[in-house]
Amino acid sequence: MKFRAQSELQSAHRPARAFVLIAILVLVMLLSMLAVSLLFRFKAEDAAAHASVGTEQAWAAALSGVEEALRVAASATSGTVDWQDNPGAFRDRLVFDDGSERWFFTVFSPGAGDSLNALNYGLTDEAAKLNVNASPDANLEKLPRMTPAMAAALRDFIDEDDIPQPEGAEQDYYSALPRPYTIRNGPLASLDELLLVRGFTAELLHGAAAERESGTNSEPTSSSSNARPTRGLSQFLTVASYEPDVANDGTVRVNFNSPDAELPAVELPPAFTNFLAALRTNGITLSHPAYLLEATLPVKDAKGVETEIASGIGKAELATVLERFTGSAAMQLTGLVNVNTASAVVLTTLPGIDEPLAESIVSARRSLSPERRTTIAWLYQEGVVDAVKFKELAPLLTARSYQFTFQVIGYGLPSGRFRVLEAGIDVAPGTRRVTYLRDVTRRGLPFNLGGEGDDAPARSARRPGKEVRRG
């Protein structure tokens, strides 16, 4: 009987002991899971912190490239193009070595033409493009892929009237759209506003994305799967080009139309001072100093006999006159095209320049020294154009550049972390600023990292066993 009671008691305790054991096991499992979770969280936070540091360092390296671009552009003298393709200043420049990672930047821009592979380690000159806000007489339809209807629609979009040009489109057209909007009827603030103009598309403006070797739509991580896009109309157009109406040394030019203006302290032929006096006496104004070239003026002498006086300005004096004088009261000249850097395509859009003349200009400037290119006078001095043609073209041209665009990649090795920025800068006298800055890292790595040089990585960041990471 006693044995039976003990057996029943033990049977009663078995479920209780089993429950306790199960509870202990569950508790151990929960503690283990908590430990693993905390460990994972600590590692994740550590990885996130490490990635954040890498991101900031890549960003800082890219900003160093922006600062170097500002320095090089601001120190460039008129007639030089050291900023255009300068690997020594812009390619694989070492910024900082923190012991475990070396941080670099590379400044780059698309090369000449439509080639996907052309690349310059330098800046793009905005004065080499046609300013859509300041070129009403330009032959826009001469640009590749620009139709007469698109050119007319663009002119209607920015002019102040409501009268549509033939094949154009004024406010009535945009008001009738499913999603109507008000057109600018004034200068564009950015080139992307062209996407609001009838007929303009992102593909036409910025180029069509090239097919990737992988044949997929996945975001690329290396240059082998990210061919540079074909180039669009944006390579020919700008809204940013201007220059102050001052001499290359920063002094204010003399407005020869002003009766109170004092002549600059430069050597000028006596015939020139007499000619200016005759202009003022007869109330004649000239809008540009180029019109003084080989100019004559009919005047009457003291006896009333009509005679001609010459300006005294020929090949030898032309550069000085262009540099020191102006016919405008404006402080700023907008939309002049740089004859030293503009492509033949852009030059042919200007009134008075056909394809043969554009090619002659491009060919002639290749052999000129920077000193000869400081003013546009070389067009006449080198015999590219005669005096009549020079006077026609001079008001449209310049030999200086102050606004630039470019991209810059900041990256670290061996990790391969990177950030890519797109920037615009303005270095006109009295101005040194970044006009816009855009993070375009999402587009992927633009080219393999690395280069040749003492301070540059010897191999590409895309190496076996090393992941190329975006910032």
Q: How far, in Å, are 6, 27, 197, 395 from residue 19 at the CA level?
A: 21, 12, 77, 97
CA 337 – CA 346 distance, rounded (Å): 8
More confident residue, 290 or 452: 290
Closest by Cα among 321, 358, 318, 326 to 342: 358
Q: Strand 325-326 vs strand 306-310: parallel, antiparallel, or unpaired?
A: unpaired
Average pLDDT, the chain: 84
Highest mean pLDDT among 42-51, 82-91, 209-218: 82-91
Identify which of 13, 37, 41, 17 has the alpha carbon closest to the alpha carbon of residue 25.
17
**pLDDT tens digit sequence for 244-255:** 999 999 899 999
d(CA 43, CA 37): 10
Q: How many Å apart are CA 351 and CA 336, to the nearest integer?
A: 13
Pairing of strands 306-310, 130-131: unpaired
Q: pTM of the prediction?
A: 0.81
**pLDDT at 448 (0 to 100):** 87
Looking at the predicted structure, is the pLDDT value of residue 230 above 80?
A: no
394-450 confidence digits (pLDDT tens): 999 999 999 999 999 999 999 999 999 999 999 999 889 999 999 999 989 998 887
CA dist., res. 385 & res. 404, Å (int) = 29
Give the C-alpha separation, 406 to 124, whole Å. Answer: 6
Mean pLDDT of 287-302: 89
Over 80: is that where the pLDDT of 209 sits? no
73-131 residue pLDDT tens: 999 988 899 999 999 999 999 999 999 999 999 999 998 766 656 789 999 999 999 99
Q: What is the pLDDT of residues 134-152, one digit of tens each?
A: 988 889 999 999 999 999 9
pLDDT range class, residue 30, cuts 50, 70, 90: low
Please state the domain extents for the chain: 60-136+231-245+331-471, 247-329
Contact between 164 and 149 (Cβ < 8 Å): no
Query: Residue 203 corresponds to which tokens in the numbers above?
Result: 């593909």
Reduced to 3 states (helix: H, G, I; strand: E, B; else coil), residue 382 is coil
* Distance separating alpha carbons of residues 421 and 406, to the nearest angstrom: 9
Q: For residue 239, what are its two tokens?
A: 């809204």
- 237-238 and 130-131 beta bridge pairing: parallel
The answer on pLDDT for 387 being more than 50 is yes
Count of CA atoms in the C-beta half-sphere (13 A) of 451: 18
Query: SS3 for 62?
Result: helix
Look at residue 300 and tell me whether its pLDDT is greater than 90: no
31 — pLDDT class (breaks 50, 70, 90) = low
Give CA–CA dist 76/210, Å, rounded.
35
What is the arithmetic mean of pLDDT over 350-379?
96
What is the DSSP code string of 89-150? HHSSEEEEE-SS-EEEEEEEEE-SSS-SS-EESS-EEGGGSEETTS-TTS-GGGSTT--HHH
Phi and psi at residue 387, to the nearest 5°? -65, -40
Among 129, 240, 127, 126, which Cα is nearest to 188's? Answer: 240
Q: Rounded to an integer, what distance in angstroms lies between the CA atom of residue 90 and that of residue 36?
A: 47
Tell whether the model's pLDDT for residue 370 goes beyond 90.
yes
Which tops the pLDDT comparison, 28 or 54? Answer: 54
C-alpha distances out from residue 347 to 178, 237, 262, 446, Å: 38, 12, 36, 30
